[in-house]
Amino acid sequence: MIHFETTLGDFTIELFEKEAPETVVNFLKYIDSGFFDGTIFHRIVPGFVIQGGGFTEDMSQKRTQPPIKNEANNGLKNLRGTLSMARTNDINSATSQFFVNLKDNDFLDHKPGNFGYAVFARITDGMDVVDKIAAVATGRRRGFDDVPTEAVVMKRVHRIAPQQSKQ
Protein backbone atom coordinates (compact mmCIF):
# COMPACT_ATOMS: atom_id res chain seq x y z
CA MET A 1 0.00 0.00 0.00
CA ILE A 2 1.15 3.51 -0.82
CA HIS A 3 0.04 6.64 1.03
CA PHE A 4 -0.07 10.05 -0.68
CA GLU A 5 -0.08 13.14 1.55
CA THR A 6 -1.13 16.15 -0.52
CA THR A 7 -1.94 19.77 0.19
CA LEU A 8 -5.65 18.90 -0.32
CA GLY A 9 -5.74 15.71 1.76
CA ASP A 10 -4.53 12.12 1.71
CA PHE A 11 -5.28 9.04 -0.33
CA THR A 12 -4.03 5.45 -0.41
CA ILE A 13 -3.40 3.11 -3.32
CA GLU A 14 -2.95 -0.62 -3.77
CA LEU A 15 -0.36 -1.73 -6.36
CA PHE A 16 -1.05 -4.51 -8.88
CA GLU A 17 2.28 -6.31 -8.57
CA LYS A 18 1.21 -9.48 -10.42
CA GLU A 19 -0.39 -7.73 -13.38
CA ALA A 20 2.17 -4.92 -13.83
CA PRO A 21 5.43 -6.13 -12.24
CA GLU A 22 7.88 -3.90 -14.12
CA THR A 23 5.68 -0.83 -13.68
CA VAL A 24 5.30 -1.46 -9.94
CA VAL A 25 9.05 -1.97 -9.44
CA ASN A 26 9.67 1.30 -11.32
CA PHE A 27 7.04 3.18 -9.28
CA LEU A 28 8.45 1.86 -5.98
CA LYS A 29 11.96 3.02 -6.94
CA TYR A 30 10.61 6.55 -7.31
CA ILE A 31 8.72 6.29 -4.01
CA ASP A 32 11.62 4.83 -2.03
CA SER A 33 14.00 7.54 -3.30
CA GLY A 34 11.58 10.31 -2.25
CA PHE A 35 11.26 11.44 -5.87
CA PHE A 36 7.54 12.28 -5.67
CA ASP A 37 7.85 14.35 -2.47
CA GLY A 38 7.39 17.97 -3.50
CA THR A 39 6.05 17.19 -6.98
CA ILE A 40 2.67 18.47 -8.09
CA PHE A 41 -0.42 17.33 -9.92
CA HIS A 42 0.40 19.41 -12.99
CA ARG A 43 -2.47 18.41 -15.29
CA ILE A 44 -6.08 18.32 -14.17
CA VAL A 45 -8.89 17.62 -16.60
CA PRO A 46 -12.23 17.31 -14.75
CA GLY A 47 -14.18 14.24 -15.81
CA PHE A 48 -11.01 12.66 -17.23
CA VAL A 49 -7.76 12.49 -15.19
CA ILE A 50 -5.45 14.14 -12.68
CA GLN A 51 -1.80 13.72 -13.65
CA GLY A 52 1.39 14.18 -11.65
CA GLY A 53 4.77 12.81 -10.74
CA GLY A 54 7.17 14.80 -12.86
CA PHE A 55 7.11 18.52 -12.09
CA THR A 56 7.90 20.76 -9.13
CA GLU A 57 5.80 23.78 -8.10
CA ASP A 58 7.71 26.09 -10.46
CA MET A 59 6.91 23.69 -13.36
CA SER A 60 10.49 22.44 -13.58
CA GLN A 61 10.60 18.87 -14.87
CA LYS A 62 12.49 16.47 -12.61
CA ARG A 63 15.20 14.18 -13.99
CA THR A 64 13.87 10.60 -14.29
CA GLN A 65 15.13 7.06 -14.64
CA PRO A 66 15.07 5.49 -18.13
CA PRO A 67 11.65 4.65 -19.61
CA ILE A 68 10.04 1.27 -18.96
CA LYS A 69 8.22 -1.30 -21.09
CA ASN A 70 4.50 -0.58 -21.43
CA GLU A 71 2.45 -3.25 -19.62
CA ALA A 72 -0.96 -2.04 -20.87
CA ASN A 73 -1.63 -5.54 -22.25
CA ASN A 74 -2.04 -6.86 -18.66
CA GLY A 75 -5.84 -7.18 -18.84
CA LEU A 76 -6.52 -4.28 -16.45
CA LYS A 77 -8.89 -1.49 -17.49
CA ASN A 78 -8.66 2.29 -17.05
CA LEU A 79 -11.62 2.47 -14.68
CA ARG A 80 -12.49 5.28 -12.27
CA GLY A 81 -10.00 5.25 -9.40
CA THR A 82 -7.26 3.33 -11.19
CA LEU A 83 -3.75 4.69 -11.74
CA SER A 84 -1.94 4.36 -15.06
CA MET A 85 1.43 5.42 -16.36
CA ALA A 86 1.54 8.56 -18.49
CA ARG A 87 3.61 8.40 -21.66
CA THR A 88 4.29 10.16 -24.94
CA ASN A 89 3.28 8.79 -28.35
CA ASP A 90 6.18 6.35 -27.92
CA ILE A 91 4.47 3.28 -26.44
CA ASN A 92 7.46 2.49 -24.17
CA SER A 93 8.18 6.01 -22.89
CA ALA A 94 6.69 5.97 -19.35
CA THR A 95 9.06 7.12 -16.58
CA SER A 96 7.68 8.75 -13.40
CA GLN A 97 4.45 10.46 -14.44
CA PHE A 98 1.14 8.78 -13.70
CA PHE A 99 -2.53 9.66 -13.78
CA VAL A 100 -5.64 8.79 -11.81
CA ASN A 101 -8.71 8.05 -13.91
CA LEU A 102 -11.65 10.19 -12.78
CA LYS A 103 -14.11 8.10 -14.81
CA ASP A 104 -14.03 4.88 -16.83
CA ASN A 105 -11.73 5.76 -19.75
CA ASP A 106 -12.02 2.66 -21.94
CA PHE A 107 -10.44 4.45 -24.91
CA LEU A 108 -7.15 4.35 -22.93
CA ASP A 109 -7.29 0.53 -22.62
CA HIS A 110 -5.14 -1.89 -24.59
CA LYS A 111 -6.89 -3.20 -27.72
CA PRO A 112 -6.02 -3.96 -31.36
CA GLY A 113 -4.73 -0.79 -32.99
CA ASN A 114 -4.26 1.01 -29.64
CA PHE A 115 -1.61 -0.26 -27.23
CA GLY A 116 -3.07 1.83 -24.43
CA TYR A 117 -1.89 3.01 -21.01
CA ALA A 118 -0.67 0.62 -18.31
CA VAL A 119 -2.94 0.36 -15.27
CA PHE A 120 -0.81 -0.52 -12.23
CA ALA A 121 -2.77 0.49 -9.10
CA ARG A 122 -6.11 1.61 -7.69
CA ILE A 123 -7.30 4.03 -5.02
CA THR A 124 -8.35 2.14 -1.87
CA ASP A 125 -9.10 5.15 0.33
CA GLY A 126 -9.49 8.87 -0.37
CA MET A 127 -11.21 9.02 -3.74
CA ASP A 128 -13.02 12.05 -2.29
CA VAL A 129 -9.60 13.77 -2.07
CA VAL A 130 -8.86 12.87 -5.70
CA ASP A 131 -12.23 14.40 -6.65
CA LYS A 132 -11.34 17.52 -4.63
CA ILE A 133 -8.06 17.80 -6.55
CA ALA A 134 -9.98 17.37 -9.82
CA ALA A 135 -12.21 20.34 -8.91
CA VAL A 136 -9.47 22.98 -8.53
CA ALA A 137 -9.25 25.92 -10.92
CA THR A 138 -6.79 25.47 -13.78
CA GLY A 139 -5.19 27.60 -16.44
CA ARG A 140 -2.19 27.90 -18.74
CA ARG A 141 1.23 28.10 -17.08
CA ARG A 142 4.74 28.00 -18.57
CA GLY A 143 3.43 26.60 -21.84
CA PHE A 144 1.20 23.94 -20.26
CA ASP A 145 -2.59 23.76 -20.23
CA ASP A 146 -4.79 22.40 -17.42
CA VAL A 147 -2.31 23.40 -14.68
CA PRO A 148 -3.84 24.19 -11.26
CA THR A 149 -3.76 27.93 -10.56
CA GLU A 150 -2.82 27.03 -6.98
CA ALA A 151 -0.34 24.11 -6.79
CA VAL A 152 -1.58 20.76 -5.49
CA VAL A 153 1.60 19.34 -3.98
CA MET A 154 2.43 15.76 -3.08
CA LYS A 155 4.03 16.54 0.27
CA ARG A 156 5.00 12.92 1.00
CA VAL A 157 4.49 9.63 -0.83
CA HIS A 158 5.50 6.51 1.08
CA ARG A 159 4.83 2.84 1.70
CA ILE A 160 2.53 1.77 4.53
CA ALA A 161 1.58 -1.63 5.89
CA PRO A 162 -1.92 -2.72 4.74
CA GLN A 163 -3.34 -2.54 8.28
CA GLN A 164 -2.32 1.16 8.47
CA SER A 165 -4.81 2.15 5.78
CA LYS A 166 -8.46 2.86 6.51
CA GLN A 167 -10.81 0.18 5.21
The string of pLDDT tens digits covering residues 20-58 is: 999 999 999 999 999 999 999 999 999 999 999 999 999
User: Closest Cα to residue 84, out of 65, 66, 104, 64?
Assistant: 104
Domains of the chain, earliest start first: 2-164 (2.40.100.10)
Q: Could you tell me the sign of the dihedral formed by the alpha carbons of 57, 134, 119, 14, in that order?
A: positive
Prediction pTM value: 0.95
For 139-161, write each residue's pLDDT tens digit: 999 899 999 999 999 999 999 98
